[in-house]
Amino acid sequence: MFALLLALAVAQNEISRRIERARRSLSESSHVNMTSVWLIPAGLLLPAQLVALLSVSLYVNMALRSWSGTRPGQPHRVAANATTASLSACTAGLAMLVSPQISVPAVCLAVAIYFVVNALLTSLGLYLANQANATVEGCLGNMDDNLLELATLCVGGLLVMVLTDEPLLSVLVILPLYVLQRSMLIKRLEELATTDQKTQLLNATTWQDGAQREISRAERDNGSFGAMMIDLDHFKRINDTYGHLAGDDVLKAVAAVVKQETRAHDLVGRFGGEEFVALLPATSKEDAIVTAERIRQRVSELVISTKTNEGAAVDIERQTASIGVAAYPLDGSSIEEVMASADAAVYAAKHGGRNRVVGSVEVALAAA
């Protein structure tokens, strides 16, 4: 049984080696591999010594074959990962205390135990490795990471049942795993192609494409939408005073505020530099102004803890934003005209004293 699991796992690693290497090179934090597919059966069917040997063998194989040339498999990290996987699998084997034989309840319990123990040990290791910058998502992983881990554990649970009845059929597991890894790589590449990596908002091209689709929908349904352009005031001063890394932290904090104050189906993107844009479907200009005012207020209340280029801790506060609001079809019949109107409103807000929302360009310019 040990030889069969090791052979299948190494074969799967070799077949998907390029995909695993690409996924690892593109991952920014935690990286979910396929080892749990083989370690769940090992935890239930093998003694602890062979579970540990299988885990070490798999991680050494991945470090030498899949990870070389990307982010190197540093020995202490490989050892930590292999230890975590071994402990998770051995603990999952305690599910056999529920039933002396392989059964559906025992396998389901083993999957749950493995998932919880692995999550706790991994998050503890990530926290201790970087306590200063540790976050809940950074340690526990995002929803996609956890769903992928659960998916691999479920495949491992099914593999347990196959190994106990028809061991040779276990070779059929390799192709689904290959497709699963490939689909995750494609998803990651799509995210990189459509997302601004600094703020995790839509990039300018993707936002423009989405806005074109929204204006086509509004034309077809005789609908409307609100749009806003958000420009940070005196942002260059932050880069000049504290450095570009501190400026990046400010951009991330403001992006988080804009995302939180808009709806899930709103189009929110980074337009370039210190400018953000948002398109609010089925929203009047008055409601868009209310949303913009909430964003402006929250940005002005931000206290952003960051560091200068020299490493000195600093809190950046009293950052303000000038926001221009426009609407379709009130301010234009195309997305270019609507955003030109919003841009003109930002210009009026700047001349009107900054840190304000402008929705009527003519009135604002007259007041200025």
Q: What is the DSSP letter of 352?
A: T
pLDDT at 366: 52
**Could you give the 3-state DSSP secondary structure of residue 198?**
coil
For residues 94-109, give the mean pLDDT: 87
pLDDT at 29: 60
Q: Cα separation of 219 and 215, whole Å? A: 6
User: Which position among 28, 261, 274, 317 bears the catalytic label?
Assistant: 274
User: And the tokens for 275?
Assistant: 């400018």
The pTM for the full model equals 0.69
For residues 319-324, give the mean pLDDT: 94
**CB of 229 closer than 8 Å to CB of 324:** yes
pLDDT at 363 over 60: no
pLDDT at 193: 85
Out of 1.10.10, 1.10.150, 3.30.110, 1.10.1760, which CATH number does the structure's domain 2-194 have? Answer: 1.10.1760
pLDDT at 362: 53
pLDDT digits (tens, 9 = 90+) for 271-296: 888 999 999 999 999 999 999 999 99
**Structure confidence at residue 179 as a pLDDT band (50, 70, 90):** very high
Q: Cα separation of 180 and 59, whole Å? A: 20
pLDDT at 365 over 80: no
What residues have CB less than 8 Å from 349, skipping those under 6 apart? 322, 323, 324, 356, 357, 358, 364
* Range with the poorest average pLDDT among 16-25, 51-60, 257-266, 349-358: 16-25
Same fold, 2-194 and 204-367: no
Residue with more model confidence, 138 or 332? 332
Q: Sketch the domain layout of the chain as residue ranges.
A: 2-194, 204-367
Q: Cα separation of 365 and 353, whole Å? A: 11
Active-site residue flag, 28: no
| pLDDT above 70 as % of the chain | 94
pLDDT at 272: 81
pLDDT digits (tens, 9 = 90+) for 77-90: 888 889 999 999 99
Bridging pattern class, strands 313-317 and 303-307: antiparallel
**CB of 228 closer than 8 Å to CB of 271:** no
**DSSP line for 254-320:** HHHHHHHTS-TTSEEEEEETTEEEEEEET--HHHHHHHHHHHHHHHHT-EEEEE-TT--EEEEE---
pLDDT digits (tens, 9 = 90+) for 325-334: 999 998 888 9
Q: What is the DSSP letter of 355?
A: S
Give me the numbers of helices (H) and strands (E) for the chain, helices first please. Answer: 15, 7
Q: What is the dihedral of CA 248, 253, 259, 262, to 10 degrees?
A: -130
Q: Which residues pair with 48 in a beta bridge?
A: none
| Average pLDDT along the chain | 88
For residues 155-178, give the mean pLDDT: 92
pLDDT at 351 over 80: yes
Q: Tell me which architecture the domain covering 204-367 has in CATH.
A: 2-Layer Sandwich (3.30)
Residues in the chain: 368
